[in-house]
Structure 1
Amino acid sequence: MTTDTGEATMGTEDALATTADDLPPGTTGSERLSALAQQHGALVTLVIAMIIASLAFDTFLTGDNLENMALSSAFLAVVALGMTFVIVTGGIDLSVGSLFALGGVLAAWGSQYGTAVALLLPLAVCGLVGLVNGLLIARSGLAPFIVTLAAMLAARGVLLALTDEGSRTYLVDKDSFFVELGQGSLLGIGVPVWITVALFTLGALVLRRTRFGQYVYAVGGNEDAAALMGAPVTRTKVAVYTLSGLCAGLAGALNAAWLASGVTILGTGMELEAISAVVIGGTLLTGGFGFISGSLVGVALLKVIQNVINQIGSLDSAYQQVVSGAFLALVIVAQTWLGRRQRVL
């Protein structure tokens, strides 16, 4: 039993080595270089992409274009924030796209009763769906892919029922305070961007500086070892899926405030975009390794790619998906190679 506990301790400590700074003292230079590539590779790529785009297009670095990119990135970023916690535990959440759309419709409908209802209703409903997902996955041992796929379909069904198969669109009174959360600005920057920055700052502190964050890394790194070390594996899994649902609902509500309506066709494929952003940002799909800032960089990189394609003008919007998919494949291949190289070294 002592040997098993020692191995469990070692596995958990390895899982917590999530950045180059966290690596043990005996780590070689090659191992640190591989870790740095996983941690900052997306940021370097983002900087290079922005430099090239600014040289190729005069309108890329204009205030209006950057503001539009920041606003359009904010909603996906909030969804990706919750997805980061899920993927770090080694899970996946396919329901966030449908919850994003459902949250927007619920917020638009609830806005007639005030800003509090417009915000709390989508949070309550989407958070409840996330809670159910977590309970089914953590307590029943069901596969995250199946559980969240079922939740995705169920949420989309509820959305269609609320909107008469999509024929009804709930509008938000443009004079309400709720609209200011989506269309307002502070110091020339949209309120959704400020909210996103605040949430990512809080999320980074929780994941990197709290015991709960340590549990998230430990569960993703080695679930059995984490359990032997006394980590509340079940509670941690339930918490991250609940958080993912809350983030999706909040993003949907903010989007409804921005559009002043609950658009039913939104959110399709958003779960894949969120997963792509998280993985591109350096978080491993196998769990145990990742960071909040990387997911934000991943979102920004996807939006820069989309914006460049729009700037070209002669390319169809479908090329956005082609380029994003190809880039994601390259990132996964690079992550796999770096992971194997670290094990060999």
Structure 2
Amino acid sequence: MTVTKADVPVGTTDGTPRETSRPEGSARAERLSAVVQRHGATAVLVVVSLLASLGFDSFATADNLTNMATGSAFLAIVALGMTFVIIAGGIDLSVGSLFALGGVLAAWGSRHGTLVALVLPLAVCGLIGVVDGLLVARCRLAPFIVSLAAMLGARGLLLALTDEGADTYLIGKDTVLAALGQGTTLGLGNPVWITLALFAAGALTLRRTRFGQHVYAVGGNEDAAALMGVPVVRTKILVYTLSGLLAGLAGALDAAWLASGVTILGSGMELEAISAVVIGGTLLTGGLGRVSGSLVGVLLLKVIQNVINQIGSLDSAYQQVVSGAFLALVVIAQTWLGRRRRLT
């Protein structure tokens, strides 16, 4: 019997089938790495919370948990916008200044009615986001430089509006913002519920809409995304606009909660937001991440800060030390897991 070339399986020379799948061990290792990268922060949050509950009687009280949730809400809204930007392969250093600017604009606008108080911070902060997006997408400027310039510009505008912090604007009593700021419990006016609604909308947008898929594609490989017909420029402009809008909204809600616009707020918030997003599993290089992970990252940072406060004997500066060290460990772990997944 003569064996012809057609009788030999494709890709072989001796008639034996070629191995078409990776070894089971490699596939299992990749799945494990992916699970750790997605849910590692959640596991750490649960463990730290349990240990804190056992170690401190006041940690798991209703008042303490409510205060942590409320304090996390404003940072979480900012981190939500940052999640979109980082997944798209960018960075936004202006959100802290936009947060403070949004609060002052909302407080100033509340003297002219609810509509002005709500629209003004969104319009101004959103416009700054649009400019950032245009400079990054159209002019191809580095996101770090563009957002740094926006941070300085927004902070300068803030100081000009308040006469370098000398003027303080109070929230008008007859506005919706004043109603949102009443009470300290988890009632309907608490920003926690607004934050959860925004995160639910953000998750649906990323996972179930064409825009969300474009964000992942641009962050994963911008050149390949452009070749596939993805509107790269429009996507970048939209993510920076969204980041500006959410930072302004968070500032307005914070002003409502404090009943005034505070100039000094927001300093360093951009770094906290980036830390929360990265801790939650979003890659700084873009293309991978989830909004739920960013929410977990915010909660984990706040729990760590609360634990340090519960200890009492440690200086508050240790919060930054612990947060920085934890962020460094997370980045190292992400890099290692990413390399392991590529190798397997």
Q: TM-score, normalised by structure 2?
A: 0.91
Letter in 2 for 1:212: F
Q: CA deviation at 1:172?
A: 1.3
How many Å separate the matches in 1 of 2:95 and 2:235? 19
Q: Is the 8 A contact 2:66 2:186 kept in 1?
A: no
Q: CA deviation at 1:187?
A: 6.2
How many Å separate the matches in 2 of 1:215 and 1:161? 38
Q: CA deviation at 1:119?
A: 1.1
Letter in 2 for 1:254: L
Q: Is the 8 A contact 1:103 1:253 kept in 2?
A: yes
> Mapping of 1:59-98 within 5 angstroms?
59-98=58-97
Post-superposition CA distance 1:50-92 (Å, at most 9, x none): 0000001001111100000000000000000000000001100
Q: CA deviation at 1:183?
A: 3.1
Q: Counterpart of 1:221?
A: 220
Q: CA deviation at 1:303?
A: 0.3
CA RMSD of aligned residues (A): 1.5
Residues 1:304 and 1:189: Cα distance change in structure 2 (over 3 Å): farther
> Mapping of 1:8-157 within 5 angstroms?
28-157=27-156
Q: Identity over aligned residues, as a percent? A: 77
SS in 2 for 1:284: coil
How many Å separate the matches in 2 of 1:186 and 1:172? 20
Post-superposition CA distance 1:216-257 (Å, at most 9, x none): 000000000000000000000000000000000000000000
Q: Is the 8 A contact 1:108 1:118 kept in 2?
A: yes
How many Å separate the matches in 2 of 1:205 and 1:216? 13
Q: Counterpart of 2:245?
A: 246
Q: Counterpart of 2:169?
A: 170
Q: Counterpart of 2:205?
A: 206
Residues 1:185 and 1:211: Cα distance change in structure 2 (over 3 Å): farther
How many Å separate the matches in 1 of 2:193 and 2:142? 35
SS in 1 for 2:181: helix
Q: Counterpart of 1:312?
A: 311
Q: Is the 8 A contact 1:71 1:190 kept in 2?
A: no
Letter in 2 for 1:112: R
Letter in 2 for 1:195: I
How many Å separate the matches in 1 of 2:213 and 2:286? 13
Q: CA deviation at 1:189?
A: 6.2
How many Å separate the matches in 2 of 1:273 and 1:140? 28
Residues 1:280 and 1:189: Cα distance change in structure 2 (over 3 Å): farther
Q: Is the 8 A contact 1:67 1:189 kept in 2?
A: no
Q: Is the 8 A contact 2:66 2:185 kept in 1?
A: no
Q: Is the 8 A contact 1:73 1:303 kept in 2?
A: yes
How many Å separate the matches in 2 of 1:255 and 1:230? 40
How many Å separate the matches in 1 of 2:186 and 2:335? 42
How many Å separate the matches in 1 of 2:137 and 2:175? 41
SS in 1 for 2:339: helix
Of structures 1 and 2, the larger Rg is shown by 2
How many Å separate the matches in 1 of 2:295 and 2:179? 24
Q: CA deviation at 1:191?
A: 2.2
Q: Is the 8 A contact 1:46 1:301 kept in 2?
A: yes
Q: Counterpart of 2:331?
A: 332
Q: CA deviation at 1:176?
A: 3.6
Residues 1:312 and 1:187: Cα distance change in structure 2 (over 3 Å): closer
How many Å separate the matches in 1 of 2:103 and 2:194? 17
Q: Which runs of 5+ in 2 are unaligned?
A: 1-21
SS in 1 for 2:57: coil
Q: CA deviation at 1:177?
A: 2.8
Residues 1:244 and 1:198: Cα distance change in structure 2 (over 3 Å): same
How many Å separate the matches in 2 of 1:183 and 1:319? 32
How many Å separate the matches in 1 of 2:311 and 2:165? 33
Greater mean alpha carbon deviation, residues 80-89 or residues 107-116: 107-116
Q: Counterpart of 1:344?
A: 343
Q: Is the 8 A contact 1:220 1:286 kept in 2?
A: yes
Q: Counterpart of 2:12?
A: none
How many Å separate the matches in 2 of 1:291 and 1:183? 32
Q: CA deviation at 1:185?
A: 7.1
Q: Which runs of 5+ in 1 are unaligned?
A: 1-23
